[in-house]
Amino acid sequence: MHFDENNPLDIVLNDLFEHYRQNVADVDKITKSLLDKGVVASQNDIVNDHIAFRTLAVPYLGIQSFEKIFLKYGYKKRDYYYFEGKKLDAYWYSPPANHYPRIFVSELRVADLSQNAQAIIYGYTKNVDSDPVDELQLSNGKEVANFLQRPLWALPTSKDYQALLAESEYAAWVIYNRYYLNHYTISIHELKEGYNTLEEFNRFLADIGVKLNTSGGVIKTSDDGLLRQSSTVSALYEAKFADNKSLEIAGSYVEFAERSILPEYKDMPKDQIQPQHRRDGFETNNADKIFESTYTAQIKGS
Ligand code: OOG
Ligand code: NI
């Protein structure tokens, strides 16, 4: 990962990644195996296709608050996605320069949940009475990095967590995990031959014992066939709740994306291919299944 200690975006992305890497064992496991096999020379050689965050659509929070951080750093808001069954809205943001990852931000349509689930969520978020991002100095990368690790509401009780889990696994995930980086994504097409297709890469992952999300098939493919994605399933983490109970809950995961060259550039010499010559953006049907990387059925399924 590119890192300029004077650039607030670099500070924020680096801090998010470090917390994530320390929590999600598959991150270092995959990097180490790629190093051992000589596929990459360091973590810096792994291209990060995109990162993802989850939020709640409640007053003063949600996408409209969260996105201000990255819009300030030069990201551009792009396409909208709607997930009817999961009651989610999402947008993706293109980066200010090619060496930064795209960002995918989703939010739960809280008002579409049952009265009971809404009451639980508002019970935690009602103390937020102004937009916390407006109080940040966005030019101070450390301040923003700390904000992204800081709780905006009280630790939930295990009872509330379980009630939310029964209705919306996404709601339960956010009420506990908040703005933690949900995943980073390895650009498979940027790897060397033998590892640069998702079929080959997934075989490598199976060999090192990394478990993949099978919802909708291991490889999720866009309608145009040009964006293919796979992801790990989250590990289970022992989590402490406000009522002093502990539960094993989902955390974050790792994704893998293969973006093919757009048909109009298919005859371009390989060494001239830039990110803009490949399929950009996201795909609703792929994303719908990737969300389930933190769902109980995927984690507990074999
Ligand atoms: C995001 C799932 C969607 C993608 O690349 O389409 C996604 C999430 O789990 O929060 O990452
Ligand atoms: Ni993703």
Model pLDDT for residues 75-134, shown as the tens digit of each residue: 999 999 999 999 999 999 999 999 999 999 999 999 999 999 999 999 999 999 999 999
Instruction: Give the pLDDT of residue 301.
Output: 87
State the ipTM, two decimals: 0.99
With a cut of 70, say whether residue 1 has pLDDT above it. Answer: no
Q: Where are the domains of the chain?
A: 8-300
Q: What does the mean pLDDT of the chain come to?
A: 97
Phi, psi angles (nearest 5°) of residue 67: -65, -20
- Place 39 in a pLDDT band, splitting at 50, 70 and 90: very high
Rounded distance from Cα 139 to ligand 1 centre (Å): 28
CB 141 within 8 A of CB 16: no
- CA 53 – CA 106 distance, rounded (Å): 7
Instruction: Give the pLDDT of residue 212.
Output: 98
Sheet with 88-94: strands ordered across: 76-83, 88-94, 102-108, 48-56, 183-187, 253-259, 227-231, 220-221
Q: Give yes or no for residue 295 CB within 6 A of ligand 1.
A: no
Rounded distance from Cα 160 to ligand 1 centre (Å): 25
Instruction: Give the pLDDT of residue 302.
Output: 62
- Smallest CA separation from ligand 1 atom 9, residue: 291
Q: Which residues surround ligand 2, an ion (CB under 5 A)?
A: 52, 255
With a cut of 90, say whether residue 227 has pLDDT above it. Answer: yes
Pairing state of beta strands 227-231 and 236-240? Answer: unpaired
- Place 233 in a pLDDT band, splitting at 50, 70 and 90: very high
Q: Which ligand is nearest to the CA of 282?
A: 1
Domain spanning 8-300, CATH architecture? Roll (3.10)
